[in-house]
């Protein structure tokens, strides 16, 4: 019971911090909006020979980008909690390490989904709109993507001393995962080596799943997308919890 | 069970360095006990082990009757701590910090409200309860941390240099609240400080720690030779050379941030 209360209050803390950091929210919306507006509009014409429009094609990819970037960042914020001392306050409290990680992951996932929801709400103004049932199905994928990547962020944070490695992780892990996920280009007709890389990238399944739900066309069946992503999500939750506990016991 | 703290040859090694060296100590319930020692003497390491955030290399210790290795959760329920470094969430208000704290210690919402209110009143911060902690001064933050440490009515309260860098008025205020808590709620207080005369005035007993060992322990009046101050006792026992303490990454980072903000 008290473990449940602890998870809830740590989740609430993430939310409070999120709504207070208005400039951070505004800042995080910039990149995805410019991607949609400039890249989307720019390549729309190049795409025009094929079926569908490019803006609609990358919209799920951009949602995936927002989710992954903000989730990994919020997982890695554990480092700041350590440096500013608040982590100690949580660590001496009579609650399990697993509850701390769970609170962090649910909090980070919630704030990531809120950011993605803001982008989705702005999409109709750019001429992209989805139906409600599609959005509900996409929501399941959004939960899995954000949970998985907060877990990954916590796992990475548990291996790092300070925030200096943050850019390294962003540029050499998160960026490649984004580019290889099929967020910006279709997965069929790729050269063999690239195809293999896209299939290794777990985000691929999340974005393909959301694209299937939102636009009705996906490269892989729903259950493949959902199954792979669910497995990855479970694995990252466990990895984050394990490394965090190991680091802080 | 009349001891709040019992340690038996408690040891912590970091590679070659022995931070706490087979230290045995008994602190009775209801005492205000001072741990004095130069930088790097092992005071913080000792406290970290007693409050379960650091595993001892060897030896045993009990806090309020609970073993620090085997009964971590019970130990944590029984202690309150004010760390040497700040540990508040700056982005939240004082009230929110206390509310989270209460929830982590399993208090009901009603209890949280009542206790947050009374502990904020004790440290005279109640009228500032809805301000973000980042707008607090250093002294106010310290008082808030003490209020938080006391909020769940711990049996044992650790204060690791609670008054460092504060003006005499604030220091006096903090020590007064500590004395009051000790008197009224029978809280055992274990504190470290570099203000030796304050420890002299406040503590029933002190231990002077150096290089991980206790070099003297007892009531300040008993440790003093004729005409000596406690500070002179301290210097006589620990020498005059200046100690270097290796900064943790946290401290280095803080120093860097401070430089950055200037």
pLDDT digits 0-9 by tens, A161-219: 888 888 899 999 999 999 999 999 998 889 999 999 999 999 999 999 999 999 998 99
Measure the CA–CA gap between B216 and B233, rounded to whole angstroms: 9
Least Cα distance to B129 among B87, B98, B170 occurs for: B98
pLDDT at B122: 83
Same domain, B240 and B147: no
Rounded mean pLDDT of chain B? 90
- B201 and B244 belong to one structural domain: yes
Residue B258 in this model has a pLDDT that exceeds 60: no
| Residues A83-121: tens digit of each pLDDT | 989 999 999 999 999 999 999 999 999 999 999 999 999
Q: Report percent pLDDT > 90 for chain B.
A: 71
* Domain C-terminal end among B124, B153, B182: B153
Chain A residues with CB under 8 Å of a chain B CB are 1-2, 5-6, 8-10, 12-13, 16-17, 20-21, 82-95, 161-162, 249
pLDDT surpasses 80 at B110: yes
Q: Which of A14, A79, A83 to mutate to test the interface with B (most CBs of B within 10 A)?
A: A83
pLDDT at residue B239, rounded to an integer = 83
One domain for residues B119 and B239: no
Indicate if B28 and B122 belong to the same structural domain.
no
Average confidence score pLDDT of chain A: 93
Q: Name the residue of chain B whose CA is nearest to A91's CA.
A: B53
Same domain (yes/no): B70, B177: yes
Is B167 found in the same domain as B250?
yes
B262: pLDDT confidence band, cut at 50, 70 and 90? very low
Considering the domain architecture, whether residues B61 and B174 belong to the same structural domain is answered as: yes
Q: Where are the beta strands (DSSP E) in B70-229?
A: 79-82, 156-160, 188-192, 205-210, 213-218
Q: Tell me the chain B residues in contact with residue A20 when contact means C-beta distances shorter than 8 Å.
A: 91, 132
Same domain, yes or no: B68 and B95:
no
Answer whether B100 touches A (CB < 8 Å).
yes
Mean pLDDT of B210-231: 92
The pLDDT score that the predictor gives to residue A32 is 93
Across the interface, which of B86, B87, B89 has its CB nearest the CB of A13? Answer: B89
| Model pLDDT, residue A163 | 86
Boundaries of domain holding B7? 3-78+155-261
Q: pLDDT confidence of A53, banded at 50, 70, 90?
A: confident
- Residue B102 and residue B134 in one domain: yes
The pLDDT of residue B94 is: 97
Domain boundary among B102, B129, B153: B153
CA of B253 vs chain A CAs: smallest distance (Å): 7
Among the candidates B153, B170, B204, a domain finishes at B153
Taking the CA of residue B226 and the nearest CA in chain A, the distance in Å comes to 43
Structure-token pair, residue A240: 């984050």
Whether B124 and B217 share a structural domain = no
Q: Do B253 and A83 touch (CB under 8 A)?
A: yes
Residues of chain B found within 8 Å of residue A82, distances taken between Cβ atoms: 250
Report pLDDT digits (tens) over B186-209. 999 999 999 998 999 999 999 999
CATH of the domain at B221: 3.40.50.300
- Is residue B253 pLDDT above 70, yes or no? no
The stretch A235-245 carries a mean pLDDT of 97
Which residues in chain A have their CB less than 8 angstroms from residue B86's CB? 84-85
What pLDDT score does B259 carry? 54
pLDDT at A45 over 70: yes
pLDDT band at B82 (very low <50, low <70, confident <90, very high): very high
The answer to whether B76 contacts chain A (CB < 8 Å) is yes
Cβ neighbours of B87 in A, within 8 Å = 84-89
Tell me the chain B residues in contact with residue A2 when contact means C-beta distances shorter than 8 Å: 106
Q: Contacts for B86-89 with beta carbons within 8 Å, 24 or more apart?
A: B86/A84, B86/A85, B86/B141, B86/B145, B87/A84, B87/A85, B87/A86, B87/A87, B87/A88, B87/A89, B87/B145, B88/A85, B88/A86, B88/A89, B88/B133, B88/B141, B88/B144, B88/B145, B88/B148, B89/A13, B89/A17, B89/A84, B89/A86, B89/B133
| % of chain A residues with pLDDT over 90 | 79
Is the domain of B13 the same as that of B52?
A: yes
Ramachandran region of residue B40, left (φ > 0), alpha (ψ -120 to 50) or beta? left
Average pLDDT over residues A125-141: 92
Position B167 scores a pLDDT of: 86
pLDDT at position B247 is 57
Evaluate if residue A241 carries a pLDDT over 60: yes
Contact B92 A83 (CB under 8 A): no
Residue with more model confidence, A67 or B224: A67
Q: Could you report the per-residue pLDDT of B15-38, keeping only the tens digit for each? A: 999 999 999 999 999 999 999 999
Q: How confident is the model over B105-117, as a mean pLDDT?
A: 95
B9 pLDDT above the threshold of 50: yes
- Residues A21, B96: C-beta atoms closer than 8 Å: no
Say yes or no: B245 contacts chain A, CB-CB below 8 A. no
B35-70 pLDDT per residue, tens: 999 988 999 999 999 999 999 999 999 999 999 999
Residue B108 pLDDT > 80, yes or no?
Answer: yes
Closest-CA residue in chain A for B152?
A93
What is the per-residue pLDDT for B225? 86
Measured in angstroms, the CA of A185 and the nearest CA of chain B are apart by 40
Q: What is the mean pLDDT of residues B234-255?
A: 69
The structural domain count of chain B equals 2
- Give the model's pLDDT for residue A2: 83
Residue B252 has pLDDT above 60, yes or no: no
Question: In chain A, which residues have their Cβ closer than 8 Å to the Cβ of B52?
Answer: 92
Q: Closest to A85 (Cβ–Cβ): which among B55, B74, B85?
A: B85
Structure ipTM: 0.90
Q: Is the pLDDT of residue B249 over 60?
A: no
Show the DSSP H helices in chain A as ranges. 2-20, 22-34, 41-47, 54-76, 78-83, 86-91, 97-122, 132-157, 166-169, 175-179, 192-200, 202-215, 222-247
CB contact under 8 A, B91 and A88: no
* d(CA A227, nearest CA chain B) in Å: 35
Give the model's pLDDT for residue A188.
85
Same-domain status, B49 and B178: yes
Report d(CA B171, CA B173) in Å as an integer: 5
């Amino acid at each position: 019971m008290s473990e449940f209360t602890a998870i809830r209050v740590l989740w609430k803390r993430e939310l409070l911090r999120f709504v207070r950091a208005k400039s951070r929210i505004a800042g995080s919306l910039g990149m995805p909006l410019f991607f949609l507006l400039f890249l989307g509009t720019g390549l729309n014409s190049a795409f025009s020979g094929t079926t569908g429009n490019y803006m609609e094609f990358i919209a799920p990819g951009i949602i995936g980008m927002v989710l992954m970037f903000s989730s990994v960042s919020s997982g890695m914020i554990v480092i700041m909690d350590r440096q500013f001392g608040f982590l100690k306050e949580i660590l001496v409290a009579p609650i399990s390490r697993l509850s701390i990680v769970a609170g962090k992951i649910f909090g980070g996932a919630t704030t990531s989904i809120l950011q993605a929801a803001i982008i989705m709400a702005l999409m109709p103004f750019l001429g992209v709109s989805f139906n409600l049932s599609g959005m509900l199905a996409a929501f399941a994928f959004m939960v899995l993507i954000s949970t998985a990547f907060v877990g990954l962020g916590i796992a990475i944070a548990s291996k790092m001393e300070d925030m200096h490695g943050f850019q390294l992780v962003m540029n050499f892990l998160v960026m490649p995962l984004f580019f290889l996920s099929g967020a910006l280009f279709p997965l069929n007709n790729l050269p063999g080596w690239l195809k293999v890389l896209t299939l290794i990238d777990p985000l691929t399944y999340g974005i393909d799943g959301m694209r299937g739900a939102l636009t009705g066309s996906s490269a892989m069946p729903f259950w493949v997308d959902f199954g792979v992503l669910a497995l990855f999500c479970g694995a990252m939750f466990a990895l984050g919890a394990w490394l965090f506990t190991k680091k802080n016991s | 069970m009349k001891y709040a703290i019992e340690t038996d040859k408690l040891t912590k090694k970091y590679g070659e360095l022995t931070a706490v060296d087979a230290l045995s100590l008994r602190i009775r319930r209801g005492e205000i006990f001072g741990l004095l020692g130069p930088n790097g003497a092992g005071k913080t390491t000792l406290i970290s082990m007693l409050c379960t955030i650091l595993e001892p290399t060897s030896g045993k210790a009990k806090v309020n009757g609970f073993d620090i290795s085997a009964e971590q959760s019970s130990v944590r329920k029984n202690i309150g701590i004010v760390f040497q470094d700040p540990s508040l969430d700056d982005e939240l208000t004082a009230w929110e910090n206390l509310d989270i704290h209460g929830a982590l210690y399993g208090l009901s919402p009603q209890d949280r409200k009542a206790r947050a209110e009374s502990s904020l009143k004790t440290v005279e911060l109640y009228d500032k309860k809805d301000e973000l902690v980042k707008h607090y001064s250093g002294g106010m933050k310290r008082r808030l941390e003490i209020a938080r440490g006391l909020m769940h009515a711990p049996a044992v309260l650790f204060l690791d240099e609670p008054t460092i860098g504060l003006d005499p008025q604030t220091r006096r205020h903090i020590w007064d609240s500590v004395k009051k808590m000790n008197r009224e709620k029978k809280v055992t207080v274990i504190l470290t400080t570099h203000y030796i005369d304050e420890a002299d005035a406040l503590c029933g007993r002190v231990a002077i720690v150096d290089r991980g060992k206790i070099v003297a322990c007892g009531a300040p009046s008993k440790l003093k030779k004729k005409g000596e101050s406690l500070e002179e006792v301290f210097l006589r026992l620990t020498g005059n050379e200046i100690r270097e303490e290796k900064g943790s990454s946290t401290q280095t980072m803080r120093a860097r941030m401070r430089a950055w903000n200037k």
